[in-house]
Structure 1
Amino acid sequence: MQLLAPIGLLLTLAGLFGLGWCIWRGFQIRRSALPPQEIHAALHRLIALNLGSVAAAALGLGLLVVGLML
């Protein structure tokens, strides 16, 4: 039970890092000189990573709260 809080913290930080990376990568893609179809495809692939990062951060936050309550 004592490991829930540190694991939750690490998972939350990993999710937040992933969100920051998605934002940074999205700006890079939008600034690139690619054709609009390729930009759209690259941003579409980035959505999956973004949703995974949000899920990891939410799960980590939940684990952190449960670990602190116990």
Structure 2
Amino acid sequence: MTLFDGLIWGGAALTVAGVLALGWCVLAVVRARKAGLDDAALRDRMRPVLAVNMGALAVSAIGLMLVVTGILLG
């Protein structure tokens, strides 16, 4: 296994972790909407989910960049 194979597999793992976190965000939003909260309570519940969502998108993007870098250089 070369360094570039490691980049590809590491990037794939990061991407999968990011996608799983995005799935968690979707489930959290669906549960919050089904709870029937008023607007202010729903916003309070969504604030931490938004932070996780942005982090998950960033992790996914970095993972995909590592995969592409490993493919192009390998």
**Matches of 2:40 and 2:21 in 1, distance apart?**
25
Moved over 6 A (4+): none
- How many residue pairs get aligned? The number is 70
Given the alignment of the two structures, is residue 50 of structure 1 paired with residue 56 of structure 2, yes or no?
Answer: no
Matched residues in 2 for 1:31 and 1:44: separation?
A: 17
The alignment status of 1:65 with 2:68, answered yes or no, reads: yes
Q: What do you get for the CA RMSD once the two structures are aligned?
A: 1.1
Identity of aligned residues (%): 33
| TM-score between the two structures when normalised by the length of structure 1 | 0.91
Q: Residue 19 of structure 2 is aligned with which of 16, 22, 27? A: 16
Unaligned runs of 5+ in 2: none
Query: What's the offset of the Cα at 1:39?
Result: 1.3
Q: What stretches of structure 1 of length at least 5 have no aligned partner? A: none
Larger Rg: 2
